[in-house]
């Protein structure tokens, strides 16, 4: 099996034996340098996928592989080193009295040597453009800054995959934009694979691939352009499309010919000029 990939092989999962399956025979592979957005209604199984990826849960049926290693109780610590996670609420992720302590927390958990830590803290804070905040108190930071610190903590462990589970949901539009820009820069600089779980359709357009979940199954999969051009398939399960897609539809109904499904206003304008 190829290294540096996450693979779900016929994965089914339920929280308890007498409860319904929340994932049903899910198969996918996420390779190096990919940015995969997972979308779907509440309860469609997105967070469960994230938790299976970093060994917070184990499947009852099928297997999850991270970097060629099957995720189970014996491999979980090694897996968590490779798969970092950032959650929705930044306040739940803080443990230290300074930013520096917070960023160090993940490394301490993984038993990294102290002399390595100092360098890693600085590098990670620099990557999220928060290097001046090393000695600040985390609880005084804005929501967006807190999430950047959480990302720095994950980066410090030097993972190959980062999962952002609704990590921008509690931020204002400016904070969201900053985080997504940071994440996009970090992905390119560090050669990482990203998995983002989000309701924000603008974020989805930044991904290289989209997995649409419905009722615990993969409903469709493809590039953002592919997925958003199949609007009927999305609306069938009540999912929305980005504003620019709706504008494009409206124009097409008025007889305007477009060469492609636009992912942002710039693309739409280029097509119209
Ligand atoms: P999503 O992230 O798409 O909102 P989740 O993966 O959180 O979906 O949830 C999938 C299903 O599993 C939902 O029906 C949810 O109610 C159920 N579920 C999630 N967490 C638990 C839990 N800890 N115990 C029991 N059921 C759960």
Q: Ligand 1: which atom is nearest the Cα of residue 44? A: 3
| DSSP designation for 2 | -
The residue contributing the CA closest to ligand 1 atom 21 is 15
Cα 269 to averaged position of ligand 1 atoms, centre (Å): 40
Cα 100 from Cα 53, distance rounded (Å): 27
Angle at 77 between CA 130 and CA 1, to 5 degrees: 100
Decide: pTM greater than 0.90. Answer: yes
Give the 3-state secondary structure of residue 29: strand
Q: Answer whether 175 contacts ligand 1 (Cβ < 6 A).
A: no
The whole-number pLDDT of residue 33 equals 87
Range 6-225 classified under CATH 3.40.50.300: yes
22-31, 91-100, 244-253, 255-264: which is most confident = 22-31
The residue contributing the CA closest to ligand 1 atom 5 is 45
Cα 247 to averaged position of ligand 1 atoms, centre (Å): 34
Q: Answer whether 47 contacts ligand 1 (Cβ < 6 A).
A: yes
Q: Answer whether 20 contacts ligand 1 (Cβ < 6 A).
A: no
Query: What residue segments make up the domains of the chain, in order of their start?
Result: 6-225
Which has more pLDDT, 162 or 91?
162
Rounded mean pLDDT of the chain?
A: 92
Cα 206 to averaged position of ligand 1 atoms, centre (Å): 26
Cα 167 from Cα 196, distance rounded (Å): 8
Q: Answer whether 44 contacts ligand 1 (Cβ < 6 A).
A: yes
Per residue in 114-150, pLDDT tens?
888 999 999 999 989 999 999 999 989 988 899 899 9
Q: Answer whether 209 contacts ligand 1 (Cβ < 6 A).
A: no
Check whether 98 has a pLDDT greater than 80. yes
Cα 167 from Cα 175, distance rounded (Å): 11
């Amino acid at each position: 099996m190829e290294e540096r990939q996450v693979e779900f092989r016929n994965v089914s999962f339920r929280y308890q034996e007498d409860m319904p399956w929340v994932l049903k025979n899910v198969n996918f592979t996420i390779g190096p340098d990919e940015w995969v957005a997972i979308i779907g209604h509440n309860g469609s199984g997105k967070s469960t996928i994230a938790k299976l990826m970093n060994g917070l849960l184990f499947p009852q049926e099928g297997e999850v592989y991270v970097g060629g290693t099957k995720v189970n109780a014996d491999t979980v610590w090694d897996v968590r080193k490779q798969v970092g996670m950032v959650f929705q609420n930044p306040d739940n992720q803080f443990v230290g009295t300074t930013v520096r302590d917070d960023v160090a927390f993940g490394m301490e958990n993984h038993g990294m040597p102290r002399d390595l830590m100092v360098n890693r803290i600085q590098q990670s804070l620099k990557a999220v453009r928060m290097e001046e905040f090393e000695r600040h108190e985390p609880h005084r930071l804005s929501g967006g800054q807190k999430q950047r610190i959480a990302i720095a903590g994950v980066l410090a462990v030097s993972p190959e995959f980062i999962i952002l589970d609704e990590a921008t949901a509690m931020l204002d539009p400016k904070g969201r934009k900053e985080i997504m820009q940071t994440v996009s820069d970090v992905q390119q600089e560090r050669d990482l694979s990203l998995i983002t779980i989000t309701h924000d359709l603008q974020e989805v357009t930044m991904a290289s691939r989209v997995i649409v979940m419905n009722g615990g199954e993969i409903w469709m999969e493809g590039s953002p352009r592919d997925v958003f051009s199949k609007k009927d398939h999305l609306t069938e399960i009540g999912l929305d499309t980005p504003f620019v897609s709706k504008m494009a539809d409206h124009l097409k109904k008025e007889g305007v010919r477009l060469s492609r499904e636009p992912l942002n206003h710039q693309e739409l304008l280029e097509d119209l000029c």
